Amino acid sequence: MIRHLLLLLMLTAGGILARPMVRNIRSTHEFDRLLEKHAKETGLPVVVDFYSDGCGPCRMMAPIFKKMAGELGQDKVVFVKVDTNVQRELAGRYRIQSLPTFAFFLGGKKWNQFSGAGEGQLRQMTQQVIRQSELDNVKMELDALQEYYKKVEPSKTKEDIEKVYTKCVEMIKSNNKDGLCLGSAANQLARRLKKKYGSAPTLLERFDASAKNPSKSKEEGGGEKKSSSGSSSSGSTSAPTNNNKSAPNLHLATEEQLLEELEKRKADEEDDDDDEEEEELFPLYSGVSDFPERVVIVGGGPAGLSAAIYAARAGLEPVVVAPAVGGQLQGKGVVVENFPGIFSPTQEWLGPEVVLGMKRQASAYGAVFEHSIVTEVDTSERPFRVTTQKEFDNSTTAPIVIPTHSIIVATGAESNWLNIPGEQELRGGGVSSCATCDGNLYKSKHVVVVGGGDAAMEDALVLARTSASVKIIHRRDSFRASKVLAQRVLEHPNIQVVWNTIVTEIVGTNVQPDGDSEDESDVNLDDSFQIVSAAKLKNTQTGETSTLSTDAVFVAIGHTPTTQFLEGIVDFNPNHAGYVRTLQDGSSTKTSVAGIFACGDVSDAIYRQAITSAGSGAAAALDAERWLSEEGLGNEAAEFEAELLAELLKDGDTTKDGANDSSATYNAYAEASGVGRKESINAMGSEL
């Protein structure tokens, strides 16, 4: 049996010679061991993505996180992921209050962190921690300092030089059992000496460069490290001297250890395969075309994806512009029970699974995706021009401009906030609008939900699964939510309702992250941050005020349509601020601008359901297809190619009717009385 396991491990040996691009942490011990290894052996910073599978923003950031790992290289930084649903101890240790949270570790300690789906901030902090690790990767030896003083100040005694060196050593409070002048302390001493004497002593690299290269050193926890130069290679008994004491030699391992190692490697391979499938699943917009798109769909929720399915099946080859994960349905942690066809007596369907299925269906029929947000729509001429920008990119990449004949707007709505003291400051510290994302972080704790609609009911039911108690704060004496959801909430033993009450302030308290310091003297008070401790309440009937202790506040007071980029372009509903007005009293998806259609929550102020959004998305695609046909805007690329081929097959002589005249042009808007793209057929032919 053991020989068989050894053979299997040898066959998978290639996996242990290369560190995974992004490593999934499976235990607290594994995480601690990883931090210790990189603090003592490589000096590499570790970037950690604390996430959960049900968190929409987490899924959106996952491909960005992996892409960064590939871009930066494994000899500069280590990327790992921690599933907070599984690794609750780690989430509690580092006081993870919101998802996703990105934590940065250097020298085995937390260096910084932030919460939210911010690609620009993630890139900026990662570059900063890499730069800091490079600055820290230096050491100054006592011999080098003595040689330096011989040149710049020969009269300096040996004892005085040792005192200077000792001061440098004492500035380092941890990870310096050998008593060396290292990192920032060594840099600081070198700068001071250079300022005084005009030159600096020699600084050496603290960590061996080969230790950072995963192709030369084996994966943490998986086998023995290559012997360093000068060490003995006679016999296998030298292997136990590996700094990673928990990693046994394969031939000395027990059957249980071999099975554990084999399962670990299989899991790593499955993780890599899942990531590859996720990347390959949905075709991306290439932007390489001489012709405008026929339809661009803005939004990736049920409305946008339904429109994409219908448009793709009609052969319109739609471009869906939306973040990698879109739609409110993506953030639903409750079981989807009211979407036709999504039912199984043996399986529960959650929002993310429904969205993923729709996205797969759309891509199967020919839809392509651009993972961006729309910042501007130019309708001053035709074709329209849709300007997009990578979300949270801080303009680090050039905007993409997509010319298109028609636009379907399905951007949905975004969460409303209370706009009260403490709300903005404590986001990521216990204030959230996504119970599915952050609810599991408050297991066995007391939480508050603000609101009285369906969103508040759903959040309360999600939180009641794991939280010690849930209190709903509602400004009225009855819910406006659906009867079914409201009844479930009122009957739930862990949910209490505080009627006729508003939240006037959210109160926080300063805390210090756990697990970062070996002793009290090493605590950096600047690293403390605030988390929610209470909510101040006011009764709307009596004016009475009170303070309610709580660990988190979830705001669920509705949504506002994401239509800012359409201001000044289309007409809005005068009775519902922010909602786009559609023609024929809402029975059509056409807007006041021909060629622009609206569906889903951007135009529906009444129903606002996933199924009604999906239906209006299908209607928008049908309206767009009909409008394109009426305007004579077909597949220009295919038409132009056919016309060009016919032209090339003709005799080269000039005909009397001027068919081959160089002034012949192709204009898709010739009959639409618009301004379109013109291409000279003969000019193209001559180039060929």
**What does the pLDDT look like over 577-588, one tens digit per residue?**
899 999 987 789
Q: Quote the pLDDT of residue 671.
A: 52
Band of pLDDT at residue 214, cut at 50, 70 and 90: low
| 232-244 confidence digits (pLDDT tens) | 444 444 444 444 4
Residues paired with 559 in a beta bridge: 415
Token pair, residue 513, equals 């992250």
The answer to whether residue 72 scores a pLDDT higher than 60 is yes
Token pair, residue 150, equals 């011989």
Determine which of 5-14, 15-24, 38-47, 123-132 has the lowest per-residue pLDDT on average.
5-14
Pairwise pLDDT comparison (243 vs 294), residue with the higher score: 294
Q: What is the mean pLDDT of residues 539-554?
A: 97
The answer to whether residue 492 scores a pLDDT higher than 90 is yes
Residue written as token pair 């068919």 = 659
Secondary structure element (H or E) that encloses residue 147, with its range? helix 142-152
Determine which of 88-102, 237-251, 345-359 has the lowest per-residue pLDDT on average.
237-251
CA–CA separation, 620 and 408 (whole Å): 7
Determine which of 103-107, 311-315, 605-609 has the lowest per-residue pLDDT on average.
605-609
- Identify which of 16, 14, 20 has the alpha carbon closest to the alpha carbon of residue 80: 20
Q: Give the CA angle between residues 353, 471, 326 to the nearest 5°.
A: 25
Token pair, residue 651, equals 């005799």
Determine which of 105-109, 293-297, 433-437, 598-602 has the lowest per-residue pLDDT on average.
433-437
- Identify which of 560, 531, 4, 598 has the alpha carbon closest to the alpha carbon of residue 250: 4
CA distances from 628 to 303, 484, 581, 631 (A): 20, 43, 21, 5
Residue 432 CA, chain-centre distance (Å), reads 16
Token pair, residue 589, equals 């998806």
Token pair, residue 478, equals 């009855």
Residues annotated catalytic, as ranges: 434, 437-438
CA–CA separation, 162 and 431 (whole Å): 52
The answer to whether residue 685 scores a pLDDT higher than 60 is no
Q: What is the mean pLDDT of residues 332-349?
A: 75
Percent of the chain at pLDDT above 70?
76
Q: What is the mean pLDDT of residues 38-52?
A: 93
Q: Is the peptide bond before 383 cis (omega within 30 degrees of 0)?
A: yes
Phi, psi of 329 (to 5 degrees): -60, -30
Q: Quote the pLDDT of residue 661.
A: 52
Q: Is 654 exposed, middle or buried (0-12, 13-18, 19+ CB in 10 A)?
A: exposed
The answer to whether residue 681 scores a pLDDT higher than 70 is no
Phi, psi of 546 (to 5 degrees): -155, 165
CA–CA separation, 422 and 81 (whole Å): 30
Q: Which residues 6+ apart lie within 8 Å of 390 measured at CB? A: 119, 371, 372, 373, 396, 397
The model carries a pTM of 0.66
- Identify which of 25, 20, 33, 7 has the alpha carbon closest to the alpha carbon of residue 262: 7
Q: What is the mean pLDDT of residues 533-556?
A: 97
Name the packing angle between helices 351-364 and 302-313 (round to 10°): 20
Average pLDDT, the chain: 82
- Identify which of 580, 615, 594, 585 has the alpha carbon closest to the alpha carbon of residue 407: 594
Band of pLDDT at residue 408, cut at 50, 70 and 90: very high
Q: Quote the pLDDT of residue 1.
A: 59
Domains detected in the chain: 2-136+215-224+243-274 (3.40.30.10), 138-206 (no CATH), 282-415+561-630 (3.50.50.60), 431-516+528-557 (3.50.50.60), 645-687 (no CATH)
- Identify which of 8, 78, 44 has the alpha carbon closest to the alpha carbon of residue 255: 8
Can you give the C-alpha Rg of the chain in angstroms?
Answer: 31
Determine which of 343-347, 521-525, 659-663 has the lowest per-residue pLDDT on average.
521-525
The answer to whether residue 231 scores a pLDDT higher than 80 is no
Phi, psi of 158 (to 5 degrees): -60, -40
The answer to whether residue 419 scores a pLDDT higher than 90 is yes
Band of pLDDT at residue 347, cut at 50, 70 and 90: confident
Q: Quote the pLDDT of residue 447.
A: 98
